[in-house]
Amino acid sequence: EVASLAPRRLRGMLLEMPVLDNAIPACAAAFTPLLFALTFGEPVMKLLALGARRVPSERLPFLLSLGLDALAQDPGPSGAVLQGIIFGRTAPDRTERRSFEAPALVIGHRRDPVHPFSDADMLAHELPNARLINANSIIELRRKPARLTPEIADFISDCWSTRAAAGVRGRRAASA
């Protein structure tokens, strides 16, 4: 959205696991039942959240702790977020994305219907200055970031050095 609304304020785009056209069926299947539970079952979900908040999660495995944290959220705002995800604008349309000039690093991974690699690949081909890297899993960047972090750091460094130099040249030319 920033690339669409304020492209001059954008130095680059780090796009991890995009959710676009190919993810719609999986998102609907995964999130519609949860949306119904959060909306129509809000009183029950509030009790469940209250119970989840009382469980100490410091020593739980990461994924279990993550699930417990999701259960502990207030169902009202969580339902509103899901409504936005399911019924709102997912991203700028394909024609608009093709006009984005900012450099982009797209990170995708396989074996995930909600964040399909086909969406990451499609986006990398649509954006004129994009590069695609393949993460080994949905949690690689959080659990074992050593392989991806140098590529991300190089990308960010390139975005800042290229735009900063261009900005200085532009200001000098304008004042001359």
Structure tokens of 118?
A: 């086909």
- Measured CA to CA, the distance from residue 82 to residue 75 in angstroms comes to 10
CB distance 108 to 68 below 8 Å: no
Question: Is the pLDDT score of 145 beyond 80?
Answer: yes
Question: Is the pLDDT score of 57 beyond 90?
Answer: no
pLDDT given for residue 174 in this prediction = 43
Which residues neighbour 163 within 8 Å (Cβ) at sequence distance 6 or greater?
11, 12
Instruction: List pLDDT tens digits, range 70-116.
Output: 899 999 999 998 888 888 888 899 999 999 999 999 999 998 888 99
Sheet strand arrangement including 104-109: 13-16, 104-109, 130-135
Percent of the chain beyond pLDDT 70? 91
Q: Are strands 104-109 and 130-135 parallel, antiparallel or unpaired?
A: parallel
Q: Is 167 helix (H, G, I), strand (E, B) or coil?
A: helix
Structure tokens of 101?
A: 């000039």
H-assigned helices in 93-148: 94-97, 117-126, 140-143
Q: Are strands 130-135 and 13-16 parallel, antiparallel or unpaired?
A: unpaired
Calculate the average pLDDT of the chain: 88
- Measured CA to CA, the distance from residue 147 to residue 3 in angstroms comes to 27
- Measured CA to CA, the distance from residue 145 to residue 90 in angstroms comes to 27
Q: Where are the domains of the chain?
A: 2-20+103-170, 26-87
